Amino acid sequence: MRKEVKQAIVGLIMVSPAFLLLLFTVVIPIIQSFVTSLGNGSGGYDLSRYQNLFTDKGLRSNILFTIKVTLLSCVLVLLVSYSLALYMRFSSGKLVELIRKSYMIPLFIPGVIATYGLMNLLGNNGWLARLLLPVGITLPRIIFDEKGIIIANLWFNIPFATMLLSSALASIPASVIESARDIGASKLRIFFRFIFPLSYKTFLVAVTFVFMGVIGSFTAPFLLGANSPQMLGVSMQQVFSVFQEREQAAAMAVFSFLLCSFLGFFYIRSMAKEDQLND
């Protein structure tokens, strides 16, 4: 008994420095944002800032736009990443080896740089437009348009999601798949009966982080997006620094946090089931 108490104290002491930092730089600011968002500007507290989110035409279209871009990006990212991860898991050859070695590089490239590169490559009269000119293809407007934002999201998130998914696929024993093949299961069947269920958890992790990353993104939509509608991150910054409406910006932040918490709930529920934590 006494040993357990001692251990509990040691554990709490070891966790506390990191947790205090989290408390000071994340938890308290979140609570503060929440309190701010309830202010109605004239000293009282109510939900008027949240009402604005749905009644103000500009804000509402920004929110709908953000949700649309986020969902579209998530679907595309996961579709491509899953295919790529499957391809890397079940193919071999020099080409695959090369992809395995290089696909993670974009994860480490500074966001500003990649966005700047995309701007130069895909912009009007950009490099891609020049390269496609002799073939007679004219590009639609990509930069300063939602296409640009989605492309940037793909650029940043596909390597990330692929990294997560391929680590999950790597942990599926080859014997499971081989024995399924031996009894004559089709590829699709193997995928739905074995591969997807065994990697489902990581799939959820990938969805959660891609969703949270895209919905709160700033740099890419700021540099690549149109003036309206805007992504929430950009709109939030504008409401805060141009219109000086702190309460409204805070309400937007809390609202997007609520959207994230919805996914976060499933994420934590699936993670918390892990028995290793219970020992």
Partner 1 sequence: MGWYFRALSKRRIIEFVLLTVFAVFFAGPLLNLAVLAFSDQWRYPDMLPQHWSLRWWSFVLGQDDIAKSIGLSFLIATIVTALSIVLCIPAAYAFARIRFPLKKVFLFSFLLTHAFPKMGLYVSIAVLFYQVGLMNTLLGVVLIHMINVLMFMTWIPTAAFRNVQAAQEESARDVGASPFRVFRSITLPLAMPGILVASVFTFLNSLDEAQGTFLVGIPDFKTMPIVMYSIISDFPSSAGAVFSIILTAPTLILLLAAQRLVSAEVLSSGFQVK
Q: For tokens 């490239």, what's the residue?
A: 109
Nearer to partner 1, 60 or 201 (CB): 201
Please tell me whether residue 243 binds partner 1 under the rule CB under 8 A: no
- Residue 191, classified by CB atoms within 10 Å of its CB into exposed (0-12), middle (13-18) or buried (19+), is middle
Stretch that binds partner 1, among 46-54, 56-64, 175-183, 199-207 (CB under 8 A): 199-207
Q: Looking at 64, 75, 131, 174, which residue binds partner 1 (CB under 8 A)?
A: 131
Half-sphere exposure for 60 (CA within 13 Å, toward CB):
6
Q: Which of residues 210-229 bind partner 1 (CB under 8 A)?
A: 212-213, 215-216, 218-219, 223
Q: Based on the shown chain and the rule CB under 8 A, indicate whether residue 274 belongs to the binding site for partner 1.
A: yes
Residues paired with 45 in a beta bridge: 39
Q: Which is nearer to partner 1, 83 or 179 (CB)?
A: 83
Cα distances (Å, whole numbers) of residue 71 to 9, 146, 236, 248: 44, 13, 19, 24
Which tokens belong to 54? 């749905």
Is 232 a binder of partner 1 (CB under 8 A)? yes
Helices (H) and strands (E) in the chain — how many of each?
A: 15, 0
Among 47, 75, 79, 133, binds partner 1 (CB under 8 A): 133
Check residue 159 for interaction with partner 1 (CB under 8 A). yes
Determine which residue in the list 62, 166, 199, 230 makes contact with partner 1, applying CB under 8 A: 166
**Nearest residue (CB) to partner 1, 79 versus 179:** 79
Phi (first) and psi of residue 45, to 5 degrees: -125, 125
Structure tokens at 87: 């391809």
Q: Which of residues 37-76 bind partner 1 (CB under 8 A)?
A: none
C-alpha to C-alpha distances, 95 to 88, 103, 170, nearest whole angstrom: 10, 12, 18
For residue 39, list its beta bridge partners.
45
Q: Looking at 42-50, 55-63, 185-193, 253-261, which segment touches partner 1 (CB under 8 A)?
A: 253-261
175 forms part of the interface with partner 1 (CB under 8 A): no
Shorter beta-carbon distance to partner 1: residue 183 or 260: 260
